[in-house]
Amino acid sequence: MAPPDPGLTRSLVLPDPTDPRLTRRVTGLDHEGREVEAAVVHERPLTLFLNGQEIVTMMTIGDHPDYLALGYLLNQNMLRADDRVTAIEHDADLDVVVVRTERATNYEAKLKKKVRTSGCAQGTVFGDVMEKFEQVTLPTDAVLKTSWLYALTKTINTCPSLYLEAGAIHGCALSQGPEVLLYMEDVGRHNAVDKIAGYMFRHGLEPAGKIFYTTGRLTSEMVIKTVQMGIPILVSRSGFTAWGVDLARQAGLTLIGRARGRRFLALSGAERIAFDADLSAVGEEDRKHRRKAAGVDA
C-alpha cells in the first residue's frame, strides 16, 4: 500500500456530475405529452481479471475502475491487505480491468461458491467471506457525536451528485468526524462501497475513526463489507433488514438508519453515540434534499 494521501486533509467529493462519460441526454414525453430532454446514467459492463483469471463482470457507470476492481477483490477476500499490487490495467475499449499481484492467485474453486445477497445488480458474496467477518474485531473506542452526524448528512445532501443530475444511482461516503473525505456513486450500492474500499487500500487510508454512509438500505451485504473494511460506524438515511441488524450486533458495529433531518434510529452499537447536538438548532430536510433521496430505496 502507498503512504496516506496528504490530499485527504480536505474534502474530496466524487464523481463529477458534469462528466459527459457518466450520463447522456435523451428525449421523451412528459405527463402532459410534451417533448422533453432528460439525463440518464450510463450503465456499462466491466469485466474484472485477477492476474490471468476472469473473476466477474460488473455493471457500473464506469468511473474509477481501478478503485472498483481493488475494492471488489478486497471485499471478496481475493486480495489481502498485505498484497502488493504490481499493476492495474484498464482497457476502456474492451471494458476490461486487470489487477496484477506479486502473489500468485487461483480462485477457481472459490468462484463456484456464491451466496446471493439483497444488493442490487451484481449483489453476491463468496462462501468464506463470513469466515473473515467472524474474525474481525472493531475498535470499541470509536465515537459518533450527533453533531457530526447532522453535519455529515447535510454535506451529503447538498454535495454535487449524479442523482440530482439523472437519478437511478446510489451513493456512499466516507467521513472522519463531520468531514466528508470521499463520496462515490454507482448504479449498485455495492459498487460504490467497493470504490471506497479500493481507494482506502490504494492510498493507505486507515479505517480508524472513520464513519461510513450509504443512501441505500442497511442490508447484510452493507454490514458485511463495512465490518470487513474495519469501519466501526455505518449510517444510512434508509431502513434496515433483520439480518443486517443481527450481523451488526454480532460484530459490534454501530448501525444507524433512517437518518433524515434531526431524526435517526440506532439498532446496534448505540454505546458509541455521544448526544451533543442541540436539536432545536437542527433543521428538517428541505424539498430539494428530499428530492435527492426520493429514490434511494429503489
Q: Band of the pLDDT at 295, cuts 50, 70, 90?
A: very low
* 50/105 Cα distance (integer angstroms): 8
Q: Which amino acid is at 88?
A: I
Cβ-based neighbour number of residue 265 at 10 Å? 12
Closest CA to 266 of 275, 277, 255: 255
Asked which of 9-13, 143-147, 194-198 is least confident by mean pLDDT, the reply is 9-13
Q: What pLDDT is attached to residue 63?
A: 87
* Amino acid in the structure at residue 169: I
CB 46 within 8 A of CB 57: yes
List of residues 6+ apart from 207 with CB closer than 8 A: 200, 229, 230, 231, 232
- Nine-digit cell at 102? 506479486
> Which domain, by its residues, includes 51?
1-298
**Count: domains in the chain:** 1
**Quick one: pLDDT at residue 116?**
41
Please enumerate in sequence order all residues whose Cβ is within 8 A of that of 19, keeping only pairs 6 or more positions apart, or say none.
63
Under DSSP, the state recorded for 84 is -
Greatest Cα-to-Cα distance within the chain, rounded to the nearest angstrom: 60
Backbone angles phi, psi at 138, to 5 degrees: -85, 150
**pLDDT one-digit tens code per residue, 86-112:** 999 999 999 999 999 999 887 766 665
Q: Quick check: helix, strand or coil at residue 22?
A: coil
Which CATH number belongs to the domain containing residue 205 in this structure? 3.40.140.10
**Average pLDDT, stretch 277-292?**
68
What is the pLDDT at residue 7?
A: 44
Q: Which residue has the higher pLDDT, 239 or 10?
A: 239
Is residue 201 over pLDDT 70? yes
